[in-house]
Structure 1
Amino acid sequence: MSARARETVREIETPGGPGRAHIQRPTRPRGTVVLGHGAGGGLGAIDLAIAREVLVGAGWAVVLVAQPWLVAGRKVAGRPPTLDVAWVPIVEALMTGRGRLPRPLVVGGRSAGARVACRTAGPLEADAGLLLSFPLHLPGQPEKLRAHELALAPTPSWVVQGTHDTFGTPDEVRRHLSAGTTLVEVPGAHSFPKGSRAALTEALGTIAGMLPG
């Protein structure tokens, strides 16, 4: 992580209660990447941590957003509409007003956070997407696809998917990619193990060099 990056934490009110934005901002950021977490975990996932480290090092302001349910100490996420209703005002608050973060705006996250980013990319006028472990379907239920959400990803977007992800293998995800969305395979499952660190760092470093900004 860049030594010049300044770290701040903002609590932002939403219809579902306060969310929390953990901001790493270099002195002169190229743009802003806002990432959300999964439905069963917090901000400490290895792919989120590496994404922040790599992208801040590449000159981007990076924000990891804790949804209100996580800030409140609950263990299970709310229904998708409640996540969207919280996410949109958080991102809008970060990108407007005094102290706003600069565009271009890249939205994304891991798992459920990636779904939220896709569903709300249009209203937020996002410039690109970074989707980590996109959950195309529940394990063992490949017929219940979320391809319609993946289709809402901004252009360009990148999907970083584990080779053995039971929520959607790279081959499954690839069949549902829109033009302008690139799939990057990384060894691992839906939750990447520590052994995936080097591959994730390489993949995200390559993506950082391709983001519009």
Structure 2
Amino acid sequence: MNRALLLTPGAGAGRDQPSLVAIEDALAPIPVERIDFPYRLAGRKSPDKPEVLMNAVRASATALAIRTRLGQEQVALGGRSMGGRMCSMLVADGFTALALVLVSYPLHAPGKPERSRTEHFPSIEVP
């Protein structure tokens, strides 16, 4: 395969979130890796700050590229809700990715439609 996908979960779930598993199954034989964020691995329920979450995505995407012997530009990033948001913010900040896969993207903070979470979208240059 000449591409791979890194998937990240929403805030309230882990790597085995059903929608992430379904995406992985549907894309076989493309290499897909589903990760847990550090706060989940530590047994905490509250997410870390975005910088910590984005660093976890960066490290996992880089490791996936190395393991699959692909260039970073051949790895797509994505996730459900918060996980997808962290991937999109990382790419908007200049991290190289093949594409973004955003599932149930949180367009605004819960119960706060006036607080948009899409301000970084114009900086995204991948599909």
Q: Could you state the TM-score of these two structures normalised by the residue count of structure 1?
A: 0.54
The percent identity for this pair of structures is: 30
Matched, 1:105 2:53: no
List alignment gaps of at least 5 residues for structure 1.
1-28, 157-213
Matched, 1:65 2:35: yes
Query: Does the aligned pair in 2 maintain the 1:127–1:154 contact within 8 Å?
Result: no
Q: 1:128 aligns to what?
A: 99
The verdict on how the C-alpha distance between 1:55 and 1:152 changes in structure 2, with shifts beyond 3 A counting, is farther
Q: 2:109 aligns to what?
A: 138
Q: Look up the SS of the partner of 2:34 in the other structure.
A: strand
The verdict on how the C-alpha distance between 1:113 and 1:52 changes in structure 2, with shifts beyond 3 A counting, is same
- How many aligned positions are there? 124
Q: Could you state the TM-score of these two structures normalised by the residue count of structure 2?
A: 0.86
**Residue of structure 2 aligned with 1:39, choices 11, 15, 30:** 11
Stretches of 4+ aligned residues off by more than 3 angstroms: 149-154
The verdict on how the C-alpha distance between 1:137 and 1:64 changes in structure 2, with shifts beyond 3 A counting, is same
What RMSD over aligned residues (CA atoms) do the two structures have, in Å?
A: 1.8
Q: 1:4 aligns to what?
A: none
List alignment gaps of at least 5 residues for structure 2.
none
Higher relative contact order (CA 8 A, sep 6+): 2
User: In the TM superposition, what whole-angstrom CA distance separates every residue of 1:30-70 from its partner, at most 9, and x where no partner exists?
Assistant: 410101111111122221111011012xx310010111111
Q: 1:149 aligns to what?
A: 120
> Map of 1:64-213 to 2, 5 A cutoff?
64-96=34-66, 99-103=67-71, 104-121=74-91, 123-156=94-127
Please identify the structure whose Cα radius of gyration is greater. 1
